Amino acid sequence: MEAWDADLTDSGHGWFELDMGIVVEGERLPLAPLLASLFRRDGRWLEASLLAQVADGEMVELVTGAGLRIRVPAWRLKPLAATLIDLFDGFAGGSSLRLSRFDAPRLTELTDSARWRFRGQSDVLALAEQLSAAQGIGHIEPPRGLGLVLRHYQTEGLAWLQFLREQNLAGILADDMGLGKTAQTLAHLLLEKESGRLDRPALIVLPTSLIFNWTNEAARFAPGLSILSLHGPERKSRFADIPRHDVVLTTYPLLWRDVTDLTRYAYHLLILDEAQTVKNARSQGAEVVRRIEARHRLCLTGTPLENHLGELWSQFDFLLPGFLGSNQTFTKYWRTPIEKQGDVRRRELLARRVRPFILRRKKEEVARELPPKTIMVRKVELAGGQRDLYETVRVAMDAKVREEIASKGFNRSQIVILDALLKLRQVCCDPRLLKSKAAQKIKERAKLDLLMTMLPELVEEGRKILVFSQFTSMLALIARELRLLALDYALLCGDTGDREEQVRRFQAGEVPIFLISLRAGGVGLNLTAADTVIHYDPWWNPAAENQATDRAHRLGQDKPVFVYKLIVAGSIEERILVLQEGKAELAARILSADHGVEAKFGSEDISALFAPLAS
């Protein structure tokens, strides 16, 4: 045996042939069929635990088709078994192995000059080195027009997104919830525009509950991007405007309905936010996104893998078609060995294969970049019947309040004013909180949908979550949804008899979610097991809201605390937030149930509180 070599040959469309050979007595013999035969004869090479027991110095016999027997040391072959085992396992004949260019990092483990001489496709080997170092990418200057200062890890995320684009690759930004995936993506899009590359629009597909959040954050952080939002019945008149915008937003439920109009155009970038839809490869939405033409593709999700490896395959089949093979071959060579047979070697190899294309940072890993308490406002828009109900209640209550003030004066109208505000707040939370038969029939529940998008992801991340609401009936509706999702929870409200037991279960880690009413649990509890606080409905008294947050953010807390405030855009809730900024004490006195309305709360504030939703 005189030499070991490998030829890389481009076979087109992002694939190349890896032809490994050994030179024996002047004749080059293809290695792939010899190894495939060996691995079939000797089961140790296909089983991770047994392969580790093969001594490096053991002499292994390779047999050619002509019966020639070649003895080679095991150390020559073990790296091949470790990095290319699925290809040998599924070897269909011939003299070479077929690899995707996205699998280039596998070759870095074979390029030891003491073992191999590689020829050809130096660009593939260069890409292999770059991909192997992809998550250590250095600094990049954020776009000039970005309206926020990126944290260090967010700048690294932007550099990673730019690297994927430069290499014509795709990937999954899988940071924990609350680390700013939207902000990093907007910075990426803005940098593309400022660099002159955004000559086609970017299409972003997202859950309906996140439409407003994207629109709002784009306006705040990237005002230089023109945004087209395609949702609601009026969207049909806007399809022709797609080429004239930088960013186009649509939702998963509308994908298959609007497929003809959306696929009429080609896009610079196709982004799936909360990429759950493509986790089911057979869903209508998953089929549509595969048909959309785009130069680059990106998934955003805090939970790239929730239930099984098939979800990971489905996302990569969208991002990098062919990279992980067909669904059938992936199941045979990866899912079954890993999930059913506990094959550690294949699990580690799969992790190495996908690692360059997934950027995931957890909160605790970047805690040094974060303040002890991070407060985020998540906004959602009302739609359909819920929006109509809000306007109906608003108009009726506005008239009733004005009539009451005209006849009794402002100071003597407290009960009517508070009742009117209460009804509007209830519509924002969930129409079912109102007692009318018409409200009970309404299907839309924008804020509850947003919460149910957040909670499974937070639980998957290992978060311990407090959910506060002033309305015990709202907590009951949330509890019903959690049961449907098989998510365990503790509950504390006024009529809870085993208060200590509920606290113990949460603090001991037996349940990940604690539903708490304002009056029952807003003060006096030590819940330092929690690292996430969600205020489902805003508390008009900022001090009371802070007290509730401090159930988690207090002495003994050793983790950063993330606080989410869920707000209906353009509604009474948003207007109270505005009032809080300049009139915190006044707003608290007016709108807390245990305070009266003072004369300082003037008619101009009443007009603002009962203003219509933005069109």
pLDDT tens digits along 239-298: 999 999 999 999 988 888 999 999 999 999 999 998 766 666 667 777 888 889 999 999
Average pLDDT score over residue span 398-420: 84
Within 8 A by CB and 6+ apart from 230, the residues are 238, 239, 248, 249, 250, 254, 258
The pLDDT of residue 86? 62
What the block records as the tokens of 317 is: 């089949």
pLDDT tens digit string along 302-356? 777 766 788 888 888 888 888 788 888 888 878 888 777 777 777 777 887 788 8
For the cut 50, the answer to whether the pLDDT of residue 508 exceeds it is yes
The pLDDT of residue 142? 93
- What sign for the dihedral angle of Cα 579, 580, 583, 585? positive
495 compared with 614, residue with greater pLDDT? 495
Residue 119: name the closest of 17, 217, 238 by CA.
17
Other C-beta atoms closer than 10 Å to the C-beta of 456 total 17
pLDDT tens digit string along 561-601? 899 999 999 898 888 777 656 544 433 332 233 333 333 34
User: How far is it, in rounded angstroms, from Cα 537 to Cα 371?
Assistant: 24
Q: Taking the CA atoms of the chain, what radius of gyration do you get in angstroms?
A: 29
pLDDT tens digit string along 65-81? 777 788 888 887 777 77
The pLDDT of residue 117? 59
User: How far is it, in rounded angstroms, from Cα 115 to Cα 82?
Assistant: 15
CATH pick for 134-369 out of 1.25.40.80, 2.40.30.10, 3.20.20.70, 3.40.50.10810: 3.40.50.10810
Which amino acid is residue 15, in one-letter code? W
Q: Which of 38-52, 282-296, 298-312, 410-424 has the lowest mean pLDDT?
A: 38-52
Determine if the pTM surpasses 0.75.
no
DSSP 555: T
For the cut 90, the answer to whether the pLDDT of residue 187 exceeds it is yes
For the cut 50, the answer to whether the pLDDT of residue 373 exceeds it is yes
The pLDDT of residue 116? 57
DSSP-derived 3-state class of residue 430: coil
Residue matched to tokens 């992936």:
330
What the block records as the tokens of 346 is: 């294949």
DSSP-derived 3-state class of residue 61: strand
CB 168 within 8 A of CB 123: no
CA angle centred on 329, ends 324 and 330, rounded to 5°: 45
pLDDT tens digit string along 143-183? 999 999 998 889 989 999 998 898 788 889 988 776 889 99
265 compared with 12, residue with greater pLDDT? 265
For the cut 50, the answer to whether the pLDDT of residue 113 exceeds it is no
188 compared with 559, residue with greater pLDDT? 188
Q: What is the mean pLDDT of the chain?
A: 80
Q: Give, in order, the Cα–Cα distances in Å from 363 to each of 217, 433, 547, 563.
A: 21, 35, 23, 13
217 compared with 559, residue with greater pLDDT? 217
Q: Name the fold adopted by 373-378+447-570.
A: Rossmann fold (3.40.50)
197 compared with 364, residue with greater pLDDT? 197
The pLDDT of residue 474? 95
Q: Which of 13-22, 106-115, 493-502, 539-548 has the lowest mean pLDDT?
A: 106-115
One fold for both 134-369 and 373-378+447-570? yes
The pLDDT of residue 537? 92
DSSP-derived 3-state class of residue 536: coil
For the cut 80, the answer to whether the pLDDT of residue 502 exceeds it is yes
Domain parsing of the chain, residue ranges? 3-128, 134-369, 373-378+447-570
Which amino acid is residue 608, in one-letter code? A
CA angle centred on 358, ends 301 and 306, rounded to 5°: 45
For the cut 60, the answer to whether the pLDDT of residue 57 exceeds it is yes
